[in-house]
Structures are given as C-alpha cells and as structure tokens.
A and B are shown apart, each in its own frame.
Chain A
C-alpha cells in the first residue's frame, strides 16, 4: 500500500544553522499533512500542519513546504537550537470516510555545539 517515507534517517546540523527535513508521500489522495517532533521518552508533539491547497506555511522558526507535483514535504527549522534535537515525523491524512494519520519512519535530528 502507499505510505509516507523519509529520505534520510539521520541529520546532523551545527547549532545556529538551518535544518531541512524531507518527506516523500505517495498517496495523491492525501490532503492534510502534519509534522511532529518526538523527544526521547515523550509523545509526539505537534509542530505545524499544512493542507493540500497550500504550498507553504510558516510558524515560529519553522516552515513547511508542500510540493504536490513531486509529492514532497519538507520541514525547515531556522537557527537550529540544541532543544531541537529529536526525531521528526511527517504524517499524512487521506481523504475518505475513515481518516487516520499515516506516519513516516522519522528522521533523527542532532544539533551539534
């Protein structure tokens, strides 16, 4: 079946640099996407979402970009901080009568001092 996947399992960035985490999805019926952050021992924490009628959405230090042509989603974190170290998941929500989130495998972001 179709699923959400991530390009890279790990990403290391220097503190203060920008981070870009990528996600590929294959289900063209998905119309809502969410990025979650999961710190060790904690539950996933909502970061930002975007609907399929948008290409870009900005939050505090985070931006999500959606490219429906190539079915690609990215999360940009500006001025990455040590507290940003975590696993980041993208999730998609498909149109249909029984909506549910399908999660990607996650990317481990490590912020180097």
Chain B
C-alpha cells in the first residue's frame, strides 16, 4: 500500500458526460501528479500540482481539468467524455515539487460507453 488513495475504483459512464476522480496523497506529500494509462499510449503525464498550485502540464486535453485543495487532496475533472478517454487514471504524490520519487495510487478505471 503506497498510502495514496483514489476514488472511485471503477467508473462507467456514457459519451458526453462529465466525471470527477479524486485523489488523496500520502500524508506529508505536497505534490500530486495525474497520469493516464491506456493500452496504446502507456503512462502519460497529465498535470502536476504542488501545494495547491499548478506546476506543470503534460498531455492534458482542454476537456480535462484538475485542482488541488487546501487539504492537499486533488480532483481530476473529465468532461464531454469520448470513447477514447477510456483508460486507467492514476494519481501519484511526492514530498517535494521536484518530480522525484512518486508513489502511485491504485488508479481509477474509467470506461466510456
């Protein structure tokens, strides 16, 4: 157990809908990272927050957004969902903002029908 929690574990929804994925980092970690893992793309970095502020953006679509709250938990919002958004979404946390050792949560499996 990495200490990173994610909810929900599974999510099934329809195209055009909006969903919110939640992540709680390990105790003491200030950084939260979101990744998407699909069969054809591997693990792709989406976005990084440090202590409530956005630090870096990766291959994140404009339909996707995230935020980190004062209690350091983070939410990833996916809207206008398409079939191709079906994937595993992981969050990871680390102590610093340097992007170093990141501990991953168990992931949320999203299926868009």
Give A contacts to B, CB under 8 Å.
32, 34, 36, 42-46, 49, 89, 93, 98-106
Give B contacts to A, CB under 8 Å.
2, 4, 33, 42-45, 48, 55-56, 58, 90, 92, 97-107
Task: Give the A-B contact count at a CB cut-off of 8 A.
Answer: 58
Contact partner of A32 (CB less than 8 A), chosen from B2, B45, B100, is B100
Residues of B within 8 A of A101 (CB): 33, 45, 99, 102
Complexed CA–CA distance, A54 and B45 (Å): 26
Contact partner of B104 (CB less than 8 A), chosen from A43, A98, A102, A106, is A43
Task: Give min CB distance, A15 to chain B, whole Å.
Answer: 26
Task: Give min CB distance, A63 to chain B, whole Å.
Answer: 18
Whether B99 lies near A100 (C-beta < 8 A) is yes
Task: Give min CB distance, B90 to chain A, whole Å.
Answer: 5
Residues of B within 8 A of A45 (CB): 2, 104
Complexed CA–CA distance, A34 and B106 (Å): 18
Residues of A within 8 A of B48 (CB): 98, 100
Task: Give min CB distance, A38 to chain B, whole Å.
Answer: 8
Contact of A100 with B58 at beta-carbon distance under 8 Å, contacts A43-B90, A44-B90 already known? yes
Task: Give min CB distance, A107 to chain B, whole Å.
Answer: 12
Whether B99 lies near A44 (C-beta < 8 A) is no
Task: Give min CB distance, B48 to chain A, whole Å.
Answer: 6
Residue of A nearest to B9 (CB): A41
Task: Give min CB distance, B76 to chain A, whole Å.
Answer: 15
Contact of A98 with B2 at beta-carbon distance under 8 Å, contacts A43-B90, A49-B101, A106-B42 already known? no
Q: What are 5 A-B pairs at a CB distance below 8 A?
A: A42-B106, A43-B105, A46-B102, A101-B33, A103-B43
Complexed CA–CA distance, A5 and B65 (Å): 28
Task: Give min CB distance, B108 to chain A, whole Å.
Answer: 10
Complexed CA–CA distance, A36 and B42 (Å): 13
Residue of A nearest to B103 (CB): A46
The 7 closest A-B pairs by CB, nearest first: A99-B99, A98-B56, A43-B104, A103-B43, A44-B104, A100-B45, A43-B106
Complexed CA–CA distance, A64 and B41 (Å): 25
Complexed CA–CA distance, A89 and B105 (Å): 16
